[in-house]
Amino acid sequence: MKFGIFDHVDDAGVPLQQLYEDRLTVAEAYDRGGFHGYHVAEHHTTPLGGAPSPSLLLAAVAYRTKRLRFGPLVYLLPFHHPLRLIEEICMLDQMSGGRFELGIGRGVSLWETKAYGLDFTQTQAMYHEAYQVLLKGLGADELTFEGQFYRFQNQPMILRPIQRPHPPLWYGITLPSQAEWPAANHVNVVALGLRETTSASIAGYREARTRLGLDLNGTLYGTSRHIVVADTDAEALRIAQAAYPRWRESFRWLFRRNNAEPRVINIYPPTFDELQALDNGIAGSPATVRRFIEDELRANPINYFVPQMVFGELKVGDALRSIELFARDVMPAFSSAKELT
């Protein structure tokens, strides 16, 4: 099993310059620790998303790391002109020596969409068109496309990615009904939600791959949980309890400003203790975290685990120790793990 990292780059209560420098410092730690990928969310006009332009942060990651793969999870395609995005993808893949991972999606926040003057009722169609343009443009010498939103006629494609015909694709799924398309189209996925939901999503993804005669290990499919590791359970829980409330408030902030709550707020309760009770996160010693991941594998036969290890007011020193312990004392236990029953 491989391990990656998911990161909102959310407000940590520090100046923005320090937020970015701290994230680059921990990206170097992920690189040293042997993590496979670093996946950054794209959000706008909310403290949940301190990297509304993921490409800018990831360009810095490219030069601060050597082996770590990285990319957005996901680029919100309706928010980007596809030609500009093709050029950025090519630049990032070339700058990193072919380490870019391409996450794509629509965007689910009505208020983020409104902030960009987009019609939410049209963004699903925009996403599908932009996706077609991206794949066609990344693999073509000239781009010709005639759609409702985007039109190109013999547009020269000067830049090329190293990874041909395009970097690996990623998609986030929150419902089992969303698993069929990425499974059939060789798209890697991260399933979000409580274990009951992610279990059904992962099962649907694996069943679709099997039914179509596709290699179950030909793509990566995983889940994400909040994880904090320290030398003792008590120390890890103290760190997580202090850090988590700010992350949760950032998660709710834009919704509360519009007198609403996120649709999935129930999976992120007010305290980290409650989050642990839902099996949506763990704070503990390496042994405790290993047992948690073993339980995760029993519920979700995944080949990729994507913890969120830096969130809210987690201090960079605590984060670096957590990453070190996870890489040294947790990950090796699953390097050749079989499915647990």
Looking at the DSSP bridge assignments, the partners of residue 281 are 226
The closest of 31, 35, 162 to 92, measured between CA atoms, is: 162
| pLDDT above 50 (res 125) | yes
**pLDDT level of residue 59 (50, 70, 90 thresholds):** very high
The average confidence (pLDDT) of the chain is 96
Query: In this predicted model, what pLDDT tens digit does every residue of 32-46 receive, in sequence order?
Result: 999 999 999 999 999
Mean pLDDT to the nearest integer, 10-39:
98
Q: Tell how strand 221-223 and strand 69-72 pair up.
A: unpaired
For residue 335, what pLDDT band results from cuts at 50, 70 and 90? confident
Residue spans of alpha helices (H) in 96-216: 110-115, 123-138, 180-184, 195-211
Q: Write out pLDDT tens, residues 298-316.
A: 999 999 999 999 999 999 9
> Residues 70-111: pLDDT tens digits?
999 999 999 999 999 999 999 999 999 999 999 999 998 999
Confidence of residue 338 (pLDDT cuts 50, 70, 90): low
What Å distances lie between residue 9 and 6, 220, 229, 323, 324, CA to CA?
Answer: 9, 23, 19, 16, 20
- Report whether pLDDT(187) > 80: yes
Q: What is the residue extent of each domain of the chain?
A: 2-334
% of the chain beyond a pLDDT of 90: 97
| Mean pLDDT across 6-19 | 98
Please give the structure tokens belonging to residue 108: 């689910």
C-alpha triplet 336, 328, 318: angle, nearest 5°: 135
At residue 341, the pLDDT reads: 44
Q: Which CATH number fits domain 2-334: 3.40.1170.60, 3.20.20.30, 3.90.1640.30, 3.30.70.890?
A: 3.20.20.30
